[in-house]
Structure 1
Amino acid sequence: MKLFSTWAKAASQAVLAASICALAPVSNAQEDYPTKPIRIVVPFSAGGSSDIQGRLIADYLGKLYGKSVVVENRPGAGGHIGGRLVSDSGPDGYTLLLGSIGLHATYGVYPALNYKPGEDLKPITIVAQMPHVVVATPSLPANTLAELTALAKEKPDSIYFGSAGVGSSVHMIGELYKMESGAPITHIPYKGSSAALNDLMGEQIHLLFENIPTVISYVQTGKLKALAITGDKRAPQLPNVPTAKEAGLPGLEVMSFTTLVASKDVPDALVEKINKDIQKIYANPDFRKGLENLGMTPVGNSPSEARAYINKEKARWDKVINTAKITVGS
């Protein structure tokens, strides 16, 4: 028995030593991260709000790490082409995603996705929250939400609103407007906000329920007109534009959000390290000012806080999807 006990003790110590050795490279890899370039996948076309945020993060993160951080645009399927790419990118943490409502909270509009965003993408942080602005072509004979609703009801399905894709925040806020107002307007999906904006400027569509950064310069120069802000207060960049609540539609009070996420295969310890590094960026007043100047509210919370927020938003938007019976093709 004594011989067996001695052997068992030695075997146990050997297993422990092997485990420590096996964990050491992972720990060291996390401490050394990054040792090569990082890419941030933006799942929408260049020029939109997500692209702007992705490039802002890439700039400051690159300076922090002293490594190249590049943005790669992978538009399509409401952001899910890029989402799937990152979900399959492996455990090293060198491929990150600039996520959105469409990737995290409204993917229920796609009944047959080839991956599970809620399980396959691991949140690092909520980047920012932002209101949207209802913008129209100058020629549309409506200057307020009330006038827009009246016009839509007078001429059903004759007013077209664009979006960055089915399930995107730009789409879903338009659907929320339809539900709250009863206005029969028609959705036209695009592969990103910049494509929708091009058609809006060309008056091939009439409306966008867009992020402020994407359209603010066009509003300020009079190329588009703003009917309302969806936030709970007026935007400093557009002080003369009323909130939806002020315009008589309190049910359209809503904020969209963006995230920085990794593949589910990235170890939690590495996600926490990246989050701590991101916190250093958020401590830089110039970075925060960069987001605020674009009409965004910086967040920069923890991975667990980000997950809780995403789950809450998912429950909220599932109600809109189910009530409006929104699926791909709608």
Structure 2
Amino acid sequence: MQQQSGLRTRRNAVLGAVMAVMGLAGASAQAQQDFPSANRQMRILVPFTAGGSSDVQARMLADKLGRLWNVPVVVENKPGAGGHLGGKYVVDQPADGYTLMVGSIGLHATYAVYPKLPYDPAKDLRVLTVLAEMPHVVVATPSLPVKTLSDLTQLTKKESNSINFGSAGVGSSVHMMGELYKLQSGAPIVHVPYRGSSAALNDLLGGQIQLMFENPPTVLSHVRGGKLKALAVTGSQRLEALPDVPTAAEAGMKDYVATSWTTVAVSAKVPETIVQKLNADIRKVVNTPEFHKGLADQGMSAVANTLPEAQSFVAREKQRWDRVISEGKITAN
């Protein structure tokens, strides 16, 4: 009798454990089905300072997703370490899909410049979609005695190591565009990293540095207002927002064609059902005429690709920029 009683007790314990697991699984499935909850706040983290290209896109996305879901979507800026402070922060948040991040080349394709990161961006982050793509604009202070990209290259070789270019940080797209120009032209310009594009832009406008290879949204108003001069754009076509500015190829550097891009990413531990819903909903809002126009006004083109397409795109870009990092011997101290 005691043996039978013991067996019943063990069976009841096992049954209770199974029911508990099933209950947790059911609750998890229900939470995913109800995602996003009207009682929860969604966050979009920008791993750079306010006012830059990523920030502009994040605020556009927050507005549209908030309307679609009828839930509050807030934007938070957490700059530092070329965006990796923000990247690590997202990885450390609960993997429930309520913390998104607007990522960049620096987060997904050029992190090899940081040999001792406290996380692995390739394994710990999941790219939901490539949000937008854009060429960069080579901008100079009005006092720099150049009118074209060829003029710039000639001047830098005459005045070796005396012309500085600023960036949003080591490994950022703004930095890498400058490094690509250095490699292809042989121009001995000096990189000055900042904690975000806004700080670099302030010094460019103040004349402390002479060049930037910046995203269009950050510099368009200054170019139009005559505070900066645009020498070239790095894309294969001229920018609709700057129709008089030649491409680098038109300016004599036929191989200097590159774009930067932004992503929407989450922790790699976010459940697949939520990942699929986020991808579908983000693509839905980005592929509206209103969102397309908002991006075009800032010199950007919408991408909004599928999960497999995004993965393939990022992998190809990482291979490309790894070569630039290796050839340029670029590293963050």
Q: 1-side partners of 2:287 and 2:325: how far apart?
A: 37
Q: 2-side partners of 1:134 and 1:269: how far apart?
A: 42
Name the Cα RMSD after superposition.
Answer: 1.9
Q: 1-side partners of 2:64 and 2:189: how far apart?
A: 41
Q: 1-side partners of 2:215 and 2:156: how far apart?
A: 22
1:69 aligns with 2:65: no
Q: Deviations over 1:168-222 (max 9, x none)?
A: 0000010000000000000000111111100000000000000111100111111
Structure 2 residue identity aligned to 1:64: L
Shift of 1:26: 2.1
1:33 aligns with 2:35: yes
- Residue 287 of structure 2 contacts residue 302 of structure 2 at CA under 8 Å; is this kept in 1? no
Structure 2 residue identity aligned to 1:221: G
- Residue 97 of structure 1 contacts residue 261 of structure 1 at CA under 8 Å; is this kept in 2? yes
Gaps of 5+ in 1: 1-12
Q: 1-side partners of 2:287 and 2:177: how far apart?
A: 31
Identity of aligned residues (%): 57
Aligned residues: 321
- Residue 86 of structure 1 contacts residue 97 of structure 1 at CA under 8 Å; is this kept in 2? yes
1:187 aligns with 2:186: no
1:328 aligns with 2:320: no
Matches within 5 A, 1:72-83: 72-83=76-87
Q: Deviations over 1:138-171 (max 9, x none)?
A: 0001111100000000001100000000000000
Matches within 5 A, 1:1-330: 21-35=23-37, 36-329=40-333
Determine helix, strand or coil for the equivalent of 2:136: strand
Determine helix, strand or coil for the equivalent of 2:94: coil
Structure 1 residue identity aligned to 2:286: Y
Determine helix, strand or coil for the equivalent of 2:44: strand
Structure 2 residue identity aligned to 1:81: L
- Residue 134 of structure 1 contacts residue 209 of structure 1 at CA under 8 Å; is this kept in 2? yes
- Residue 30 of structure 1 contacts residue 273 of structure 1 at CA under 8 Å; is this kept in 2? no
Shift of 1:15: 9.7
Q: 2-side partners of 1:210 and 1:52: how far apart?
A: 14
Determine helix, strand or coil for the equivalent of 1:226: strand
Determine helix, strand or coil for the equivalent of 1:23: helix
Q: 1-side partners of 2:289 and 2:306: how far apart?
A: 19
More displaced, 262-271 or 126-135?
Answer: 262-271
Structure 2 residue identity aligned to 1:168: S
Structure 2 residue identity aligned to 1:91: A
Shift of 1:16: 8.8
| TM-score (normalizing by structure 1) | 0.93
Gaps of 5+ in 2: 1-14
